[in-house]
Amino acid sequence: MNITRTNIDNLNAVVKVDIAKEDYSDKVEKILTDYRKSANIPGFRKGHVPMTLVKKQYGKAVLVDEVNKLLQDALNKYLVEEKLDVLGNPLPKPQDDLDWNSDQFSFEFELGLSPEFDIDLKIKKAITHYQIYADDKMIDDQVKHIQKQYGKLVSTDVVEANSEITGTFVNEDNNINNTATFSLEKIKGKSNIKNLTGAKVGDVITLNTKELFNDSHDLMTYLKVSHDAAHDLKVDVKLTIAEINSRVLADLDQDLFDKLFAKGEVNTVTELKEKIKTDSEKQFQQQSDQKLMNDVTDYLIENIKFDLPASFLQKWLQNAGEKPMNEEEAKDEYEKSEKSIRYQLIEGKLMEKYNVKVEFEDLKTHAKELIKSQMAQFGQLNPSEQELDDIAARILSNRDEVKRLSEQLVSKKLLDLYKAEANLKVKKITYDDFVKEFYS
């Protein structure tokens, strides 16, 4: 057997595999001999079928099968030995004139080669790393929310500033008929608030949906209209008031603190606010990290320049999935997935350059941390190491779970790498400003 490679350019090559008779003949002969021993052909005793008949009936199928096995093994071994970093899979070149009656065979495969490039995280333009903090307003709002949540409702006669109103919104022309409960604080505009203030149970108030609520998306909740309709809805609705309640805030005392946290963990309002601040900023850290991960990823994709064997990859995509594609479909699919392909190559280069690895012990530790966190949510605060080991072992026996956890761990290790090596500038920002800047 002889394998040769012709480089078309830096990203494309053709590998030719020449297979001679001596490469496959012994194997084919042995298989046919075994067939002869077990062949059951009318007119011949088992094990006494003439070899010429066995070869006539099975010879070509066995030959094709063995040559293909030999071809795939040889090609895979060659790619490993030559340390060729290929994209997709080798594509066999069509051979309409292949003669299986010949003793010698030649096969050619197209290869798409990974591009050569380098990465330096010490980029000139610093990427912003947001540190989200809980300001006094947010903490005070959270305290008030807790007081409302653990407070009690008292029925009242008329709508006042702190009232919660239950009523039915109706507009027959727009198929609106929904009963909902909302606080007066949700209402927008002085005229709307004035119309509702002082209203009693049984009163019917006409309101216009345009800028009725501080957040237009509340129309989806209280009137049950679609997202698209909520943004442009400008109709009159009649609100029939069925119930009016005033919420009495819970006292900020030890009884409330012990309902919120472990007994004795929080003893004063100052400690409550500090606990809210700490817990909130721990949650904000996840959003900050995800934002940093997205920003660094986008920067690398846009600024690490290299070419891809686009024509090869489009051709490969035509038959890579369950359903074959035509050329146009494959081109569209390539354009959709090009950024993903680039990032996979960049990620691989980063892991190689900075020695980022995921070992089995890393996976086990990561799995146990997740298990411990989930158990804590159900009040199991001190599971034994044996219990954690047993659950982790069951999880890591599932291939899909191993893949999912590995991807999580790679992202975590890369995030740590970016924080340590990338050129970052820290910007402190309140949660409200963070949301306005990136999600409004």
Kindly write down the DSSP assignment for every residue of 182-234, as one continuous string: EEGGGB-SHHHHHHHTT-BTT-EEEEESTT-BSSTTHHHHHT---HHHHHH--
Asked if 183 and 174 touch (Cβ cutoff 8 Å), the reply is no
Does residue 409 surpass a pLDDT of 90?
Answer: yes
Coil, helix or strand at residue 39 = coil
Distance of CA 7 to the CA centre of its chain: 37
Q: What pLDDT score does 440 carry?
A: 60
Q: What pLDDT score does 382 carry?
A: 84
Does residue 35 surpass a pLDDT of 90?
Answer: no
Asked if 292 and 129 touch (Cβ cutoff 8 Å), the reply is yes
Q: Which of 8-17, 90-99, 296-305, 347-356 has the lowest mean pLDDT?
A: 90-99
Q: What pLDDT score does 122 carry?
A: 87
Does residue 26 surpass a pLDDT of 80?
Answer: yes
Q: Which of 330-334, 380-384, 430-434 has the lowest mean pLDDT?
A: 380-384
Asked if 138 and 431 touch (Cβ cutoff 8 Å), the reply is yes
- Tokens 């309640």 appear where? 245
Work out the number of other CB atoms within 10 angstroms of the CB of residue 63. Answer: 20
Q: Say how far apart CA 368 and CA 362 lie, in whole Å.
A: 10
Report the DSSP beta bridge partners of residue 426: 129
- pLDDT bucket at 222, cuts 50 / 70 / 90: very high
Pairing mode of beta strands 2-7, 163-171: unpaired
Q: Say how far apart CA 19 and CA 21 lie, in whole Å.
A: 7
Q: Calculate mean pLDDT across residues 42-70.
A: 85
Domains of the chain: 2-113 (3.30.70.1050), 152-248 (3.10.50.30), 269-439 (1.10.3120)
176: alpha, beta or left? (left if phi > 0; alpha if psi -120 to 50): beta
Q: Say how far apart CA 305 and CA 388 lie, in whole Å.
A: 45
Q: Say how far apart CA 412 and CA 362 lie, in whole Å.
A: 11
pLDDT in tens, 386-397: 999 999 999 999
Does residue 253 surpass a pLDDT of 90?
Answer: yes
- Mean pLDDT score across all residues of the chain: 92
pLDDT in tens, 119-143: 989 888 899 999 999 999 999 999 9
- pLDDT bucket at 319, cuts 50 / 70 / 90: confident
Where b means 16+ CB within 10 Å and e means fewer, 188-201 reads: eeeebeebbeebeb
Q: What pLDDT score does 271 carry?
A: 96
How many helices (H) and strands (E) in the chain? 14, 11
Residue 115: HSE in the Cβ half-sphere, 13 Å Cα cutoff: 17
C-alpha gyration radius of the chain:
35
Q: What is the pTM of this model?
A: 0.74
Q: Calculate mean pLDDT across residues 83-97.
A: 90
